[in-house]
Structure 1
Amino acid sequence: MKFSSIFKHAIVASAILSGVTQADPVYVATTAIVEHPALDAVRDGIKETLNENGYKGDNLKFTYESAQGKTDIAAQIARKMVGDQPDVIVAIATPSAQAAVTVSRSIPVVFSAVTDPLAARLVPSLKKPGGNVTGLSDMANIKEHLSLIKEFVPNLKTVGIPYNPGEANSVSMLEQVKKVAAEMGIKVVESPAPRTSDVMIAAKQLVGKVDAIYTPIDNTIISAVESVVKVGIDAQIPVFAGDTDTVARGAVAAIGYDYYDLGRQTGEIVVRILNGEKPGDIDVKMAKGTNLFVNPKMAKRMGVKVPEAVLARATKIIE
């Protein structure tokens, strides 16, 4: 971090402590690959944490831009942000993080909602990554997810995965699913969907081949998940998700993170950098806390019953 930035943050910190509003606010530029409930919740959690730490009102310039699901727009946004010279760039989801890391050489970049930061080549290591990049991973517990599906479908033999082969996080998650599924004696049938307009087709290609469908943490699939849900209803194939927000949109059940809380955890990293720590000295964090969401109405519409044991431990039941 430049000396001028450190000096600026010292002034900001002093102003916060004294209650005096200062004219040169801290500038946090935030971007996400697409707008959907989980990623929006991350953004909101980040901003709330900044506010709670005194970065608010005239002390904070907070901007947000969505790439509308397009990697070329993500790259344009990243270049514009670097030109604007914010104090910190926060990139939500893997494609936006990759775009920001590619163009930012000195401005701190904090990523969030990235499944596999190493596979995405955002950092060389999770421990003290060095350079100007750190952040938070939402790596899922795949065995827990597949075990949940088996509770609904005890004779589960095959699970279908619609995914975008262009998203590094999705490819990484698919590889994890295949590895864990093989250990559990479950066959994985993949169905690629490079664009949101392909999601319905990808889901339909799984009909007659799988006992259940699992939507990974894939921004393309999540953006059009209602298409997968419709196929699940029509074909009587239960749809499960890697994120809990998708349950309210029609998935039968999911074990996942509270993405608002994940945003708050990301915000804590941003605050540490604004207070003078170098991003390269901050370990990449793994998201904490998991919830179990269940949608009994959708389970019935897709031909499965919610086990009593699942209902008993559910964090939230979608009515």
Structure 2
Amino acid sequence: MKKLLIILSIILVAFSCSKSESSAYKIGILQLVEHPALDDANRGFVDGLKEEGFEDGKNIIIDYQNAQGEQANCITISQKFINDRSDLILAIATPAAQAIANLTKDIPILITAVTDPADSKLVADNNAPGGNVTGTSDLTPVSEQMDLLKKLIPNARRVAFLYNSSEQNSKYQVDIARKKAEEIGLITRDATITNPNEIQQVVQNLIGKVDVIYVPTDNMVSAGMPTVASITEPAKIPIICGEEGMLPRGGLATYGINYYELGKLTSKQAVKILKGESKPADMPIEYLQNLSLKINTNSAQKLGIVIPADLQ
């Protein structure tokens, strides 16, 4: 009898676990590449879900995949999520979002770390997406970042925009930065790359030709910041960044958003979708309202830059 009770208990536990897992929501997370900003967005999203009662391994099953910066991998991973019949997919960064959005119009897709979803053809309108895609934007105050550049490096005359010419996010921001830079009397030049192997040569070619470099929220350059800094620091060329994740790896300063909080903001949208309270078509793209000034004081010291009292 005891053996029979033990066997029945094991069967009941197994059945309970199986039922729990089968009723859990499947969430696929596709991240373009590893670097601090995107990593923080992912972490904020998962933590935000947990705070709302959705915990991985319990009532949700998260399948996290990193495309390692390859668009082909984005497509392969996207197809996997579709075949697995995911209940919701999070795409982190524009190329990842475009890959999955082009393959399914049925599965709810949330995007984050995308500057302008409408401009990237991911939604019909940022205020009224109208399809299966919505999410959060990482649009930063580019004009204010240019003002910060001028305030920290008042003698700067020549600025280079370092970015991946294939990334729509970056081109969008650089257009804004160029217009503002010219308004405040800066001479601009583009320093574009199309793959990580070009970073070293492109940055090396800027030595002696520019006084400062501006990097938007560019995924390829962000991932390659150690390479950039290894050339700019000895040359005493400061870097104004689009986001704070670049600062510990050689950037001088930024004025912008916190990607962890951006991920948490996206998680609130996910909860509404999972609970059936709303659909992506009716959910506007959301933006973080709290911006912060961040300065790498170690970098400033190495570059001989005196931080104005009102920025300290």
If the length of structure 1 is used for normalisation, what is the TM-score? 0.88
CA distance in 1, matches of 2:116, 2:208: 32
Which amino acid in 2 is paired with 1:302?
L
Consecutive unaligned residues of structure 2, counting only runs of 5 or more, are: 1-18
Alignment correspondent of 2:47: 48
What is the DSSP-based 3-state SS (H/G/I as helix, E as strand, rest coil) of the residue aligned with 2:234?
A: helix
Deviation of the 1:287 alpha carbon: 2.4
How far did 1:169 drift?
0.8
Residue 199 of structure 1 is matched in structure 2 by 199
Structure 1 residue 148, shift from structure 2 partner:
0.8
Larger mean CA deviation between 293-302 and 104-113 belongs to 293-302
What secondary structure sits across from 1:122 in the alignment? coil
Q: Measure how far apart 1:23 and its partner are.
A: 4.3
Alignment of 1:1-319 (within 5 A): 23-56=22-55, 57-276=57-276, 277-311=278-312
Shift of the alpha carbon at 1:130?
A: 0.7
Amino acid at match of 1:180: K
CA RMSD of aligned residues (A): 1.5
Residue matched to 2:7: none
Q: Deviations over 1:272-297 (max 9, x none)?
A: 11111110000111223112111122
Alpha-carbon distance, 1:136 to partner: 0.6
| Overall identity of the aligned pairs, in % | 34
What TM-score do you get using the length of structure 2 for normalisation? 0.90
* Deviant stretches of 4+, over 3 Å: 20-23
The one-letter amino acid of 1:64's match is Y
Opposite residue 248 of structure 1, the aligned amino acid is P
Retained in 1: the 8 A contact 2:32–2:92? Answer: yes
2: CA distance, partners of 1:158 / 1:309: 25
Rg larger for: 2
Query: For 1:161, what is the secondary structure of its paired residue?
Result: strand
Q: Which moved more, 1:30-39 or 1:194-203?
A: 194-203
Amino acid at match of 2:298: K
The amino acid across from 2:282 in the alignment is: D
Deviation at residue 21 of structure 1 after TM alignment: 5.6
- Counterpart Cα distance in 1 of 2:306 and 2:230: 18
Query: 2:13 — aligned with what?
Result: none
Matched residue of 1:182: which SS?
Answer: helix
* Alpha-carbon distance between aligned partners in 1 of 2:20 and 2:32, rounded to the nearest angstrom: 33
What is the deviation of 1:156?
2.5
Q: Secondary structure at the match of 1:166?
A: coil
Q: Deviations over 1:57-96 (max 9, x none)?
A: 4201011111101111111111111111111110000010
Contact 1:26 1:55 in 2 (8 A): no
Contact 2:143 2:176 in 1 (8 A): no
Whichever residue aligns with residue 240 of structure 2, its letter is: F
Secondary structure of 2:201 counterpart? helix
Q: Displacement of 1:149 after TM fit?
A: 1.0
SS at match of 2:172: helix
Where 1:175 maps in the other structure, the secondary structure is helix
Matched to 1:198, the amino acid is E
Q: C-alpha displacement at 1:183, in angstroms?
A: 2.3
Q: 1:17: which partner in 2?
A: none
